[in-house]
């Protein structure tokens, strides 16, 4: 097993209510979490600051936004900028999630621009990449994923502030998890690409996490793969089994 710190993110997406976020965070604070796992939760933007208050006395659970806009301020109704996230003390942002790419038509170029803006603000990035079912069936998974990583990589000069999340689109929210072998193959391809195109050191230290229908039952096998360094969890991050995912390496 590598000495990369295991990383588990909880992406709540557009779910929850005031009552629910309070109870989810309180339960998580009271849970026995593997101290060797880095835990980051991403509630809807509306709940980030009250969540921060709730987590004030806790140094184990960090917060992430689910997106951030690259312009610092201005007439961009509905957006929240990376400058504002930094100002609010939110240390992480998810960028390039497949729902942003598919539903909101974000391109590789948009994701690269946002990545640049996040790193300029010192906000850590969970960079999401992944192929569609059609692309997998055409045997294009690795090509697609590498081109998505490559597009953002041109704007990344500090890889220690970036976690790459491999999330096959066909596995997100579908209950169809990638097999450990399928995930490992892509993770290894990303790591090999980093070794070739960035540096051996970055390839060795970069966390590459898996997302797509991870749950309390399948997490352990996935976590045992040499190039899987954690998870980005959607549905199961709203359930008690999130704790089992955080503890997958125990
Ligand atoms: P899921 O979502 O765990 O519900 O499949 C993962 C994600 O979108 O990050």
pLDDT surpassing 90 at residue 1: no
For residues 79-103, average pLDDT: 98
Between residues 3 and 199, the one the model is more confident about: 199
pLDDT (mean) for 70-78: 98
User: Which residues approach ligand 1 with their CB closer than 6 A?
Assistant: 11, 167, 172-173, 211-214, 232-236
Q: Is residue 198 part of a domain?
A: yes
Question: Do the domain assignments include residue 1?
Answer: no
Best probe residue, ligand 1, of 165, 215, 233, 241 (max atoms within 8 Å of C-beta) = 233
Q: What would the pLDDT profile of 230-250 be if each residue is shown by its tens digit?
A: 999 999 999 999 999 999 999
Task: Label each residue of the chain as H, E or C.
Answer: CCCCCEEEEEECCCCCCHHHHHHHHHHHHHCCCCCCEEEEEECCHHHHHHHHHHCCCCCCEEEEECCCECCCCCCCCCCCEHHHHHHCCCCEEEECCHHHHHHCCCCHHHHHHHHHHHHHHCCEEEEEECCCHHHHHCCCHHHHHHHHHHHHHCCCCCHHHEEEEECCHHHCCCCCCCCHHHHHHHHHHHHHHHHHHCCHHHHHHCCEEEECCCCCCCHHHHHCCCCCCEEEECHHHHCCCHHHHHCCCC
User: Is residue 148 in some structural domain?
Assistant: yes
Query: pLDDT at position 171, please?
Result: 97
Domain that holds residue 74: 6-246
Mean pLDDT in the chain? 98
Give the CATH number for residue 235.
Answer: 3.20.20.70
pLDDT in tens, 161-190: 999 999 999 999 999 999 999 999 999 999
- For the chain, the domain total comes to 1
Return the ligand 1 atom nearest residue 11 CA.
9
Read off the pLDDT of each residue in 48-71 and give the average, rounded to a whole number: 97
Domain for residue 38, yes or no? yes
User: Does residue 205 form part of some domain?
Assistant: yes
Say if 115 falls within a structural domain.
yes
- Give pLDDT, residue 2: 85
């Amino acid at each position: 097993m590598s000495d990369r710190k295991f990383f588990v993110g909880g992406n709540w997406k557009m779910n929850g209510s005031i009552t629910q976020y309070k109870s989810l965070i309180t339960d998580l604070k009271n849970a026995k979490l593997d101290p060797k796992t880095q835990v980051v939760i991403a509630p809807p933007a509306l709940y980030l600051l009250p969540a921060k208050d709730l987590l004030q006395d806790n140094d184990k659970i960090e917060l992430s936004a689910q997106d951030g806009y690259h312009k610092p301020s201005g007439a961009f109704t509905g957006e929240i900028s990376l400058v504002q996230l930094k100002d609010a003390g939110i240390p992480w942002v998810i960028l390039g999630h497949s729902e942003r790419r598919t539903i909101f038509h974000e391109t590789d170029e948009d994701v690269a621009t946002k990545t640049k803006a996040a790193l300029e603000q010192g906000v850590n990035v969970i960079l999401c990449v992944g192929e569609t079912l059609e692309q997998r069936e055409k045997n294009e998974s690795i090509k697609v994923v590498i081109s998505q990583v490559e597009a953002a990589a041109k704007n990344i000069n500090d890889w220690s502030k970036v976690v790459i999340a491999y999330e096959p689109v066909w596995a997100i929210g579908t209950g169809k998890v990638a097999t450990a072998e399928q995930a490992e193959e892509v993770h290894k391809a990303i790591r090999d690409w980093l070794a070739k195109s960035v540096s051996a050191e970055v390839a060795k230290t970069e966390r590459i996490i898996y997302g797509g229908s991870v749950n309390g039952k399948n997490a352990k096998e996935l976590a045992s793969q040499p190039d899987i360094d954690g998870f980005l969890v959607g549905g199961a991050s709203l359930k008690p089994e999130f704790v089992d995912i955080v503890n997958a390496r125990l």
